[in-house]
């Protein structure tokens, strides 16, 4: 996808910040990809990368079965930057030693840099950096020098500038290392010779050409949800093949209030692509009748969706391709052999075997913020591009317990109130997600001097950069009061609103 532009490859050892490294490199307009840690050196060399970065990881390099890379990569002449575990892998591969540290380092840590070192020549000598390690380098490989140290880590960074091999024990990719971006820029541009000429317009052009070549004269179909990912994927493929793309919007009845009409307005008003709307609300409610287990609900909703989509897709002629809005975090999480698995992703390798289509995933190399940027590049409206994420199973996983038509109506109304007041207060675009949850419990209350026994609504508002971790949003008290008052006033079946102040981890963003 990078074409003739610069390419940086990140070898993934399962570190929690691997995606963040890729984001930081992309922010410098340098295209990068995350690849397996054990990718052979000859396969790496064949792609002609300008630089390699070795990520962090949860293992100890001296442990049995610890992930290691092909040591030949250090002989390619390609600049290499090892980060945390990646630095320790480099040390072991080149003849140095790593051992358990008598004092681990976690969190913000002062570090002293040798500014005569190649990597740090433009960085202040004293910095604060983010550490997260229990092991440390004991003996450097031949030809290396120490370039940074902390109070408990004598080799907080190292380098062999002649061979363009560098290592840092800290994490320059996180915001808690304020000079981290400068260090990465030094490695990318001054050491590795990157130009920084990759843009989203380039990506759109390259992707459209690739799709056009792949599809040829055939037709494609896209499962359009109205969310950012599927909408941008549809717009990109439409740019490539025009009205030979048909979008199918399965209205599950578990969507936001008025979602079906919103999708039709957004796409019929701006594109000439055929759009098929399937009103399947009753079908989904029937399938969910009596289903209360969260995982069972997800599977039931997914299975019913596939049935509806299959019925429409197989009725079309000359359709050979299926468009999905798979994103890069999904690919990385599902493909890493060493990272801890939090959840599987339905849109990674999730093509039903009995659908005779070839998969097209035009966004599989992009992060969420890049997808939004691409959407703007393609001319999609802000009210669509800036929409907050919405779960694939819809409100089915925001209604705890059994899903009924009444509960769906209550939650849709409450959720619309949340969105309305978040927008009015200018908070909608400042948070990752803001939504209502229907826990299903009833509590005693008073309305109009009468006793009530009505539902509770839980309000969930979180801040995040990618959804991998999240912190609850510190909304102003007057805004919380306004939302609570509006919900209890406008939704007769609700007499109580509570605010979820749990972060991820230990909780997840969604309740089910």
- Count other C-beta atoms under 10 Å from residue 106's C-beta: 10
Q: Is 352 helix (H, G, I), strand (E, B) or coil?
A: coil
Closest alpha carbon to 388 in 430, 346, 347:
430
d(CA 346, CA 356): 18
Contact indicator for 363, 65 with CB cutoff of 8 Å: no
Phi, psi of 307 (to 5 degrees): -60, -45
Q: Characterize the bridge pairing of strands 80-83 and 319-323.
A: unpaired
Q: Is 311 helix (H, G, I), strand (E, B) or coil?
A: helix
Task: Determine which one of 32, 33, 69, 84 is catalytic.
Answer: 84
d(CA 441, CA 438): 8
Active site residue 84: yes
Task: Determine which one of 171, 259, 308, 370 is catalytic.
Answer: 171
Kind plus residue range of the DSSP H or E element containing 113: strand 97-113
Active site residue 171: yes
d(CA 292, CA 411): 17
d(CA 211, CA 144): 46
Phi, psi of 213 (to 5 degrees): -70, -40
Task: Determine which one of 173, 259, 333, 370 is catalytic.
Answer: 173
SS3 letters across 51-119: EEEECCCCCCCCCCCCCCCCHHHHHCCCCEEEECHHHHHHHHHCCCEEEEEEEEEEEEEEEEECCCCCC
Q: Is 122 helix (H, G, I), strand (E, B) or coil?
A: coil
Burial of 134 (0-12, 13-18, 19+ CB in 10 A): exposed
Contacts of residue 183, defined as CB under 8 A and 6 or more positions apart, other chains included, come to: 119, 120, 123, 168, 172, 177
Sheet strands side by side (includes 97-113): 31-36, 7-12, 51-54, 80-83, 165-168, 157-160, 145-149, 97-113, 126-139
Q: How far apart are the first and last CA of the chain?
A: 36
What are the catalytic residues?
A: 84, 171, 173
């Amino acid at each position: 996808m990078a074409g003739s532009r610069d390419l940086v490859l990140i070898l993934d050892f399962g570190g929690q910040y691997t995606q963040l490294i890729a984001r930081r490199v992309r922010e410098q307009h340098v295209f990068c990809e995350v690849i397996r840690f054990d990718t052979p050196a000859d396969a790496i060399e064949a792609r002609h990368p300008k630089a390699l970065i070795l990520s962090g990881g949860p293992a100890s390099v001296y442990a049995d079965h610890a992930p290691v890379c092909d040591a030949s990569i250090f002989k390619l002449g390609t600049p290499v930057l090892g980060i945390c575990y990646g630095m320790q892998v480099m040390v072991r591969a080149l003849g140095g030693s790593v051992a358990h540290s008598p004092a681990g380092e976690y969190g913000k840590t002062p570090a002293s840099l040798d500014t005569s070192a190649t990597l740090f020549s433009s960085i202040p000598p004293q910095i604060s950096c983010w550490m997260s390690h229990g092991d440390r380098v004991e003996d450097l490989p031949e030809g290396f020098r120490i370039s940074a140290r902390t109070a408990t880590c004598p080799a907080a960074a190292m380098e062999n500038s002649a061979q363009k091999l560098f290592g840092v024990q800290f994490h320059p990719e996180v915001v808690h290392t304020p000079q981290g971006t400068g260090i990465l820029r030094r490695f990318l541009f001054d050491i590795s010779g990157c130009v920084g000429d990759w843009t989203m317009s380039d990506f759109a052009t390259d992707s459209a050409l690739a799709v056009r070549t792949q599809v040829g004269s055939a037709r494609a179909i896209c499962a359009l949800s109205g969310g950012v990912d599927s909408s941008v994927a549809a717009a990109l493929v439409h740019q490539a093949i025009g009205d030979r793309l048909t979008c199918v919007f399965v209205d599950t009845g578990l969507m936001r209030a008025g979602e079906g009409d919103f999708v039709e307005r957004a796409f019929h008003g701006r594109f000439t692509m055929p759009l098929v709307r399937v009103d399947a609300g009753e079908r989904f409610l029937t399938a969910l009748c009596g289903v209360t287990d969260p995982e069972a609900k997800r599977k039931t909703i997914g299975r019913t969706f596939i049935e509806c989509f299959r019925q429409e897709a197989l009725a079309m002629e000359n359709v050979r391709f299926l468009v999905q809005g798979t994103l890069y975090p999904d690919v990385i999480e599902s493909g890493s052999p060493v990272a801890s698995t939090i959840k599987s992703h339905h849109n990674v390798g999730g093509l039903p075997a009995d659908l005779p289509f070839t998969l097209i995933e035009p966004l599989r190399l992009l992060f969420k913020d890049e997808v939004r940027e691409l959407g703007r590049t393609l001319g999609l409206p802000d009210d669509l591009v800036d929409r907050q994420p919405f779960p694939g199973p819809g409100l089915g996983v925001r209604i705890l317990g059994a899903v009924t038509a009444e509960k769906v109506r209550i939650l849709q109304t409450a959720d619309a109130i949340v969105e309305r007041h978040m927008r009015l207060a200018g908070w909608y675009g400042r948070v990752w997600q803001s939504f209502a949850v229907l826990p299903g419990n009833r509590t005693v209350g008073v309305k109009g001097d009468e006793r009530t026994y009505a539902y509770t609504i839980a309000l969930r508002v979180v801040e995040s950069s990618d959804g991998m971790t999240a912190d609850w949003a510190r909304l102003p008290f007057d805004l919380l009061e306004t939302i609570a008052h509006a919900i209890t006033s406008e939704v007769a079946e609700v007499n109580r609103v509570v605010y979820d102040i749990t972060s991820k981890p230990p909780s997840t963003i969604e309740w089910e």
